[in-house]
């Protein structure tokens, strides 16, 4: 058999392959000639500036997980055209795209220009150049195959995605009460993948609780509510770490318990506790998602420090005990706490992932008899004793405990 010499003429197939390579190279050159490129130093400067630029990693998931630019959004190039409008609705927003070497990001930049985005740049050299420049690399926490399956419906939502789900997994939420409001809130926050859930409740499960407190079962009657709740949450989602506080919340322990949590969910059943929760959250700068129910009616709002009023802005002092209905006399429709507790859970997720519009400065009320929601505007009191402009911290006030209903 005669083997071809190294300097033999190119075959038709080889010539075609070179033609394809040359054509692709020419394509990239033409693309780069019609887009704006930036370098790694300019992108690094954006990380420490007040510039509203959105940095997007257009590589594949495996590449992103192995390391990426801190704060970068992850949208693979193959999904960019479909997801960009949800991720960046304003087409005039400054955007920087990057990939491994600068080729995919250049093509993606052209695609966004064709979609009407007016201020898009491609980072030349890509993530390889970023590492060579010695700039910091963020290594994402990888989710297990089980987690990817469990949270798959979150991962395909542009507003949450992997970045948002990791935020949930890293979050810490404290629930005051494992009762009517705490039950649905805890169940859905656990199902959503909130990494740490704290539960404060010093009560034991009573059979009269089961009409509305879905965390507990008939077998739990007589056991501490926090232990019953822990078992139910762990059975639903073993990813969640449950911290329990089988104690009565007081001015002596509130700061110690609250510190380190990202959001507090107030499902308390008395005015004294509501004021204590409010004051501690304002003191620590922690958002407080408040809910309450009464017979067929409920309400929910988010008290976010410095973004709206606090509880004391609305109610500077608790009402006299004789004007508050007792827990036994007032009653509550069993399914009503489910509606309000789930709304509280939605508020928590929005605050943790930083999406949507939380109810800061708004009170959402629900009338179960009319199946009617109503929204009320809430204003911050500049003279509020707790969050006002001239407020001075004088310690907690221990009010007499008298019941509302949850």
Which residues have a catalytic role annotated?
Answer: 327
Phi and psi at residue 83, to the nearest 5°: -105, -15
Place of tokens 């304002």: 282
CB atoms within 10 A of CB 181: 35
Both tokens of residue 248? 């009565």
Cα-to-chain-centroid distance, residue 195? 11
3-class SS at 339? helix
Angle at 259 between CA 257 and CA 265, to 5 degrees: 70
Contact 282/305 with Cβ under 8 angstroms?
yes
Q: Look at strands 120-123 and 172-176 and give their pairing.
A: unpaired
3-class SS at 94? coil
Contact 102/125 with Cβ under 8 angstroms?
yes
- Cβ neighbours for 8, distance < 8 A, ≥ 6 positions apart: none
Both tokens of residue 206? 């009573």
Beta bridge partners of 172: 196
């Amino acid at each position: 058999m005669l083997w071809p010499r190294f300097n033999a003429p190119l075959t038709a197939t080889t010539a075609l392959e070179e033609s394809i390579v040359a054509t692709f190279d020419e394509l990239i050159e033409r693309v780069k000639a019609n887009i704006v490129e930036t370098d790694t130093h300019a992108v690094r400067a954006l990380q420490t500036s007040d510039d509203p630029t959105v940095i997007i990693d257009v590589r594949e998931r495996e590449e992103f997980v192995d390391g990426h630019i801190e704060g970068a959004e992850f949208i693979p190039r193959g999904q960019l055209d479909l997801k960009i409008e949800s991720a960046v609705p304003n087409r005039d927003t400054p955007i920087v795209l990057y990939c491994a070497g600068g080729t995919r990001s250049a093509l993606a930049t052209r695609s966004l220009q064709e979609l009407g985005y007016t201020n898009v740049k491609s980072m030349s050299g890509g993530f390889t150049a970023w590492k060579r420049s010695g700039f910091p690399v963020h290594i994402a926490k990888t989710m297990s195959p089980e987690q990817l399956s469990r949270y798959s419906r979150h991962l395909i939502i542009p507003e949450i995605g992997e970045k948002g789900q990791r935020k949930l997994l890293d979050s810490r939420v404290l629930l005051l009460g494992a009762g009517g409001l705490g039950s649905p809130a805890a169940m859905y926050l656990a199902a959503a993948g909130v990494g740490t859930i704290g539960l404060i409740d010093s009560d034991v499960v009573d059979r009269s609780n089961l009409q509305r407190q879905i965390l507990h079962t008939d077998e739990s009657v007589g056991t501490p509510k926090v232990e019953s709740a822990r078992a139910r949450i762990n059975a639903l989602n073993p990813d969640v770490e449950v911290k329990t506080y089988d104690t009565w919340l007081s001015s002596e322990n509130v700061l110690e318990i609250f510190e380190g949590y990202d959001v507090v969910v107030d499902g308390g059943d008395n005015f004294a506790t509501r004021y204590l929760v409010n004051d501690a959250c304002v003191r620590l700068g922690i958002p407080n998602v408040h809910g309450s129910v009464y017979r067929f009616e409920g309400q929910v709002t988010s008290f976010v420090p410095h973004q709206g009023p606090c509880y004391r802005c609305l109610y500077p002092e608790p009402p006299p005990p004789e004007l508050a209905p007792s827990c036994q006399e007032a009653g509550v429709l069993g399914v009503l706490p489910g509606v309000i507790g789930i709304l509280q859970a939605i508020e928590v997720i929005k605050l943790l992932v930083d999406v949507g519009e939380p109810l800061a400065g708004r009170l959402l009320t629900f009338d179960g008899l009319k199946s009617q929601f109503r929204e009320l505007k809430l204003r911050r009191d500049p003279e509020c004793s707790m969050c006002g402009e001239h407020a001075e911290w004088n310690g907690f006030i221990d009010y007499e405990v008298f019941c509302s209903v949850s």
